[in-house]
Each structure stands twice: as C-alpha cells, then as structure tokens.
C-alpha cells in the first residue's frame, strides 16, 4: 500500500468521486479543492462524496484565484495532482464563451504554475477531452489525430492540453494528458444527455412525467463507464515517463440508440414520450466521436469492460430505484 498524497480539483463531480474512492482503496491520502459554498451546503454539493467524506481532506479555494491555488498546493504538497475541474457542459459554453475560456484555461494555468513553483516533482494529470477532436479528419480518433474543436469548451480543453504538454517539455514537469471520450454513470450530472434520459425514464415510469425533450438524436458518441475511466487517469501517472493517452471504448452509438434502449429497459416505447426541440440543438454540433485506445491498452494495460447496454441499464435501474419504481 502506498502512502502517497493526491490533490484533486473537481473532486465533487462524477469523476472526482470515483477517483477519490479508487485512490483511497490504493492507500492514498486524498485532498480536494472545493468551492467555499460546497462546504456550506454539503448535503447537496458533496452528495457524491457522502460515503467517503470523513476520509477526505477538503480545502476551500477558487480556480479563478492564483493565490488560493498556491496556498492549497503549498499546504498539501501533493505527490500527484489530478486536474478535473472545469465548466464541462458543452451547451453552456455557447451561452457564455468568456467564462468558459477564462475559468478553464486560467484554472489549468494557475494550477500548473503553482505545482511547478512549489512541488516540481508532483505528477500532474490534465483532463483532456474528445471534444478537442471536434470535426475529426479520421475515425476512430487517436493521439495523432488533429484537433478541430467546435465549441469554446473544446477550445479551452485544447489550450489546457497544450499548456500541460508545454510544462512537460519546457520545465520537465511530469505532466500527462488524458483524452477521455464520454464517460457516464449513475453519478453523471443531469444536464448531460445520458443522465437526462435515464432520469426521465424513471420519472415517466413512476408516473411523474409524460415527456422528454431532446436535441439532436442522431449525434453519435463513444460512451464508457466513468468508474473504469478514472483508473486510466491513475495508471497514466504510474508510468516511468509522462505521455498523452486516448481513453475510449472504440464503439459508438447514437443518442437515439441510448434513448431506445433506456426506455425499452423500463418497458416503455420511447416514441410515445420523446420529442425533439430545435432549441436544444447546438450551434456547432459534433456528429460522430469514436476513440482508438490502442496505446492505452498497449502501454497502460487499460481496456474498458462495461458494455454500452450494461451502462444504460445500470443508469436506468439506479434512477428507477431512487424513485421507488
């Protein structure tokens, strides 16, 4: 067992909660940066951490303030730093490009800069995204595929990726980029399409709702299970040298397929309940994302295990269970 110390941003989110559980199981001391409001409203904002809250060290700070990031890195002296926090909802990034770019790019820059100044031996993970590929030239996408982001969120992730690689090349920091394709679970936020669907299925099955409004049903994504993806993050930081890795299943499915399977699992015909709403289409859509995780398989020994159908069923089952269906 290790006695290493890890610092996470985004610890309250889906990935942060799974990664914390994984790191605790590996014997790490786990620290997380949270907004002050999260500590004031733990029942709501720390709900994903409920089971492990007493084993975590949480620090109030803001990714918009270099001084506060500097203070936490100085206090914690982490061996590994996982930078997961971001304004991560692509649709919202069209509504407010400025805050998405400012928060995501500056937050990454502040953290890298503080780690370089205070704990230069700390291993750094940046949560890159398949959104960086955008309109990709090739299918599937791997580490050599050119980036062509289609939203300010995607642009901010390309900037974070470049900053991370630059700190590796210019300052010798152990800094790795994960390029993670969509990863879901019952802990996914309700604004993302998979959880929007699974929670609506549960509400409809419980007789609490009769309709689900969605945008582009034809978009295709490569969906995996978040619990498995966070282990890949950790594996990246256990290698002798830092590098960048695509993490994906290599399978893609349309939103419509997700919808059909989710409703069918609850014994419902989606055509009776689902309507499409032009308002929910994005100004610039990414129609197809499919990852090639061959490098992660070869170097990290990582591969996905949970199948698409099982992911959908688990999400629907959990949401139904919560409503007593």
Q: Catalytic amino acids?
A: 129, 131, 153
Residue 40 CA to residue 57 CA, distance in Å, equals 15
The residue count for binding ligand GDD (CB under 6 A) is 23
Asked whether position 180 contacts ligand GDD by CB under 6 A, the answer is yes
Among 31, 123, 196, 304, the residue binding ligand GDD under the rule CB under 6 A is: 196
- Other Cβ atoms within 10 Å of 165 Cβ, number: 18
Q: Whose Cβ is closer to ligand GDD: residue 111's or residue 288's? A: 288
Options 17, 104, 182, 185; binder of ligand GDD; rule CB under 6 A:
182
Site for ligand GDD in 285-314 (CB under 6 A): 285
User: In this structure, what are the phi and psi dihedrals at residue 225, rounded to the nearest 5 degrees?
Assistant: -95, 125
Q: Does 187 contact ligand GDD by CB under 6 A?
A: no
Using CB under 6 A, which residues numbered 249 to 278 contact ligand GDD? 255
Given a contact cutoff of 8 angstroms between Cβ atoms, the answer to whether 264 and 209 are in contact is no
Verify binding: residue 129, ligand GDD, rule CB under 6 A.
yes
108 binds ligand GDD (CB under 6 A): no
The nearer residue to ligand GDD, 142 or 216, going by C-beta atoms, is 216
Q: Which stretch binds ligand GDD (CB under 6 A): 105-113, 116-124, 158-166, 187-195?
A: 187-195
Q: How far is the CB of 196 from ligand GDD (least distance, A)?
A: 5
Q: Which two tokens stand for residue 25?
A: 């199981």
Residues in the chain: 325
Q: Closest Cα partner for 200 from 277, 262, 253, 255? A: 262
Would you state the structure tokens that stand for residue 322, as one six-digit string?
A: 């919560």
94 binds ligand GDD (CB under 6 A): no
Strand ranges inside the chain, DSSP E: 5-9, 29-34, 56-60, 80-83, 123-129, 175-180, 183-184, 212-214, 220-221, 224-225, 244-247, 253-254, 274-276
Residues 200-219, interacting with ligand GDD (CB under 6 A):
214-216, 219
Three-class SS of residue 20?
helix
For ligand GDD, which is the closer residue by CB, 76 or 86? 86
Nearest alpha-carbon partner for 131 in 106, 156, 111: 156
Q: Interface with ligand GDD by CB under 6 A: which residues?
A: 88, 90-91, 129-131, 180-182, 191-194, 196, 214-216, 219, 221, 255, 280, 282, 285
């Amino acid at each position: 067992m290790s006695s290493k110390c890890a610092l996470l941003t985004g610890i309250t989110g889906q990935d942060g909660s799974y990664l914390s559980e994984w790191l605790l199981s590996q014997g790490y001391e786990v620290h997380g940066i949270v907004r002050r409001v999260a500590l004031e409203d733990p029942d709501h904002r720390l709900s994903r951490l409920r089971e492990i809250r007493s084993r975590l060290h949480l620090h109030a700070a803001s990714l918009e303030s270099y001084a506060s990031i500097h203070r936490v890195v100085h206090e914690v002296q982490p061996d590994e730093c996982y930078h997961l926090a971001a304004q991560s909802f692509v649709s919202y990034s069209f509504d407010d490009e400025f805050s998405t770019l400012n928060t995501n790019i500056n937050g990454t820059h502040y953290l890298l800069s503080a780690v370089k100044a205070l704990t230069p031996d700390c291993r750094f993970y940046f949560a890159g995204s398949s959104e960086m590929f955008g309109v990709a030239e090739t299918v599937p996408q791997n580490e050599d595929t050119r980036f062509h982001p289609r939203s300010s969120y995607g642009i901010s992730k390309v900037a974070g990726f470049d900053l991370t690689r630059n700190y590796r090349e210019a300052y010798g920091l152990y800094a790795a980029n994960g390029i993670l394709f969509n990863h879901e679970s019952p802990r996914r936020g309700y604004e993302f399409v998979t959880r929007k669907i699974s929670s609506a299925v549960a509400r409809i099955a419980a007789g609490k709702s009769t309709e689900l409004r969605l945008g582009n049903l034809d978009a295709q994504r490569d969906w995996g299970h978040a619990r498995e993806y966070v282990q890949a993050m950790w594996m990246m930081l256990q290698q002798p040298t830092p590098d960048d890795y695509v993490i994906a299943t290599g399978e893609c499915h349309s939103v419509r397929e997700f919808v059909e399977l989710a409703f069918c699992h609850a014994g419902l015909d989606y055509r009776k309940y689902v309507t499409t709403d032009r308002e929910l289409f994005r100004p610039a859509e990414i129609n197809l994302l499919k990852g090639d995780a061959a490098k992660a398989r070869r170097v990290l020994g990582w591969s996905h295990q949970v199948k698409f159908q099982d992911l959908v069923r688990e999400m629907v089952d959990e949401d139904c269970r919560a409503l007593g269906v």
